[in-house]
Amino acid sequence: MYGPRYLINLLLLSGVGGGEEKSFNLLAEKVEQLMEWSSRRSVIRMNGDKFRRFVKAPPRNYSVIVMFTALQPQRQCSVCRQANEEYQVLANSWRYSSAFSNKLFFTIVDYDEGADVFQQLNMNSAPTFMHFPPKGKPKRADTFDLQRIGFAAEQLAKWIADRTDVHIRVFRPPNYSGTIALALLVSLVGGLLYLRRNNLEFIYNKTGWAMAALCVVFAMTSGQMWNHIRGPPYAHKNPQNGQVSYIHGSSQAQFVAESHIILLLNAAITMGMVLLNEAATSKGDVGKRRIICLVGLGLVVFFFSFLLSIFRSKYHGYPYR
């Protein structure tokens, strides 16, 4: 560890001058205190007094990153909680990295513990990330631009590297939930197969497999992958008149609801085609076959024209109906 040795150096140096001795002692004491806290928890909780003593008051030779937030449940700040998670990830990455030193500390000030700090800094929104440099006052760029960049740990790390020259490689604890879900699914399927080992006919059921294949196809052709990657809203509510629109006006984007509608339309048309075929090949009586045929035809024609009209409304300048 780099920290303790540095402290010893400081103590040795502290014997040099009279006036500076005191400040050195004070500094060493502060650093020692902070190191002790951060060895216990990667993010140091602060109230107003601590904040003024360790973050605001000179002398300092360390940078402090402060997250001003409101984590109490009654404040109902869900953004704060998400930001806090990212912040913890970042602080832990720093705490357990090999480059850990006493140059940088992560702290947190909660509104309910240090409201006076918020007033002092003229701050009226949470969460806010600020960097307090070793010398001088924080400048404009020392406040993290949360609105534009977001609060992902990687972005925070980039900002910190920019402000302090300390490079933190964000290490996220691996997310096992996907693996566990997969394992559960596999064991479930395996268990099912084992329970029904005497009657494995259903594996050879072509209808089941065909259904599964069609599900994949419908999901893809209705743009579910786009939804997955882009994360659009479910539908759009017009703030002026409260109208809810399910279809996005541009051909470059879509809503989740819209893709579901398209999925159903595609499925209906496919079903119509299959029914048309069923009507011709099945060996039922003629009346039933006629009804199936009509239903199939109706499905195809009606839903296809519906689909076409949605397409027309999205793709401006499309000349055909």
CA pair distance 79, 82, nearest whole angstrom = 5
CB of 284 to another protein, least distance (A): 13
What is the token pair recorded at 265?
A: 């339309």
CB of 110 to another protein, least distance (A): 28
Helix axis angle, 18-40 relative to 3-13, nearest 10°?
Answer: 160
CB of 253 to another protein, least distance (A): 7
CB of 246 to another protein, least distance (A): 13
Which of residues 99 and 215 has its CB atom nearest to another protein in the complex? 215
By three-state DSSP, how is residue 108 classified? strand
What is the token pair recorded at 193?
A: 């197969």
Q: Is 317 left (phi over 0), alpha (psi -120 to 50) or beta?
A: left
Which of residues 7 and 247 has its CB atom nearest to another protein in the complex? 247
Which of residues 7 and 295 has its CB atom nearest to another protein in the complex? 295
State the residues that interact with another protein by CB under 8 A: 145, 147-149, 158, 162, 206-207, 209-210, 213-214, 216-226, 228-230, 251-254, 258-259, 262, 265-267, 269-270, 273-274, 276-277, 280-281, 286, 290, 293-294, 297, 300-301, 304, 307, 311, 314-315, 317-320
Which of residues 8 and 180 has its CB atom nearest to another protein in the complex? 180
Instruction: Indicate the pairing of strand 244-245 with strand 104-110.
Output: unpaired
CA pair distance 265, 250, nearest whole angstrom = 19
CB of 40 to another protein, least distance (A): 34
Which of residues 51 and 255 has its CB atom nearest to another protein in the complex? 255
- E-strand ranges in the chain read 44-46, 63-69, 104-110, 128-132, 236-237, 244-245
